[in-house]
Amino acid sequence: MKIIVCIKQVPDAKDVRLDPKTNTLAREGVQSIINPYDRHALEEAVRIKENMGGTVTVMTMGPPQAEEILREAVSCGADEAVLVSDRAFAGADTLATTYTLSQAIKKIGGADLILCGKQAIDGDTAQVGPGLAVRMGMPYVTCVRKISAAKDKPFIVERLMDDGYDEIEIELPALFTVVKEINEPRLPSLKGKMKAKKLSVTTLTAADINADASQLGLKGSPTWVVRVFAPQFKGQRTMIQGTVQEQVDQLAEKILEWC
């Protein structure tokens, strides 16, 4: 079975902050990491491979530095790594991104199973997984919290809904986006790290994937950012003072008024 995991390099959310004075994102000391949801997708892919055989290829679209996360993914169990990188991809929104990724996947011979994280923590759109499935002509299930796979049988997956979960039967090829509950991602291994060090990452450019230039990057992106600003919060901030008992008494009085 050929499994492709799409991963994204993102700034570590706990470091990202908009500086209210300069109105810019503080970038100093912000680490680049594998999008946390994608780690769960990778772990699930490696587990499926361990149970059913096959290969796991990690793919990312990004600048040359994104190679780092591909190597990290290999140290955690992926077999192959593909970097989709070209200046022409810059400024892509999700529509252009799914086009680019689908062309790259077709270029390397397609996939039986594509796994993605539910969403990326920088954009939070949750659109690339479903969009990529449409481009690949595959059925998909989002927010998967469990995958049960057996040879020569349809996959059974559990889809997290707002009011519970659906149990779904689906034949491959297919694409799933996964949530964190699905597994506990493993740490890298020493052998994995050795492999990652030696690995040659395949790089695909716009020309390599036979891309239609009008569908790439900014040109292929129907949405654009009009304005970026810091969120505003309200709150009149009345501090309740006094001894603990006095504070409790005042608070209880207010709460009983409301409830």
> Taking CB under 8 A as the criterion, which residues in 138-177 touch other proteins?
139-143, 156, 159-171
Comparing CB distances to other proteins, the nearer of 148 and 207 is: 148
Q: Cβ(135)–Cβ(127) under 8 Å?
A: no
Q: Among 29, 53, 109, 231, indicate the residue that binds other proteins (CB under 8 A).
A: 231
Comparing CB distances to other proteins, the nearer of 52 and 64 is: 64
Comparing CB distances to other proteins, the nearer of 107 and 186 is: 186
What is the pattern of x (binds other proteins, CB under 8 A) and - over residues 96-135?
--x----------------------xxxxxxx-xxx-xxx
Cα end-to-end distance, the chain, whole Å: 57
| Residue 143 Ramachandran class (φ > 0 left, ψ -120 to 50 alpha, else beta) | left
Q: Which two tokens stand for residue 162?
A: 């707002």
Q: Cβ of residue 133: shortest distance to other proteins, in angstroms?
A: 7
Comparing CB distances to other proteins, the nearer of 31 and 224 is: 224
The residue behind tokens 């995991």 is: 5
Contact flag: residue 47 with other proteins (CB under 8 A): no
Contact flag: residue 212 with other proteins (CB under 8 A): no
Q: Cβ of residue 14: shortest distance to other proteins, in angstroms?
A: 8
Length of the chain: 259
Contact flag: residue 1 with other proteins (CB under 8 A): no
Comparing CB distances to other proteins, the nearer of 82 and 88 is: 88
Comparing CB distances to other proteins, the nearer of 29 and 229 is: 229
Contact flag: residue 54 with other proteins (CB under 8 A): no
* 3-state DSSP of 203-216: EECCCCCCCCHHHC
Burial 215-230 (b: 16+ CB within 10 A, else e): bbbeebbeeeeeeeee
Q: Cβ of residue 22: shortest distance to other proteins, in angstroms?
A: 8
Q: Count CB atoms within 10 A of the CB of residue 205.
A: 15
Instruction: Determine the Cα–Cα distance for residues 102 and 98; give it in Å rounded to an integer.
Output: 6
The DSSP symbol for 15 reads G
Q: Cβ of residue 216: shortest distance to other proteins, in angstroms?
A: 9
Q: CA 161, 166, 172, 174: dihedral to nearest 10 degrees?
A: -10
CA distances 220 to 96, 97, 108, 128, 215, Å, are: 5, 9, 22, 14, 4
Q: Cβ of residue 36: shortest distance to other proteins, in angstroms?
A: 9
Contact flag: residue 189 with other proteins (CB under 8 A): yes
Q: Cβ(44)–Cβ(115) under 8 Å?
A: yes
Q: Cβ of residue 5: shortest distance to other proteins, in angstroms?
A: 19
What is the pattern of x (binds other proteins, CB under 8 A) and - over residues 190-209?
xxxxx--x------------
Q: Among 106, 188, 199, 205, indicate the residue that binds other proteins (CB under 8 A).
A: 188
- Strand 113-117 and strand 2-6: the pairing is parallel
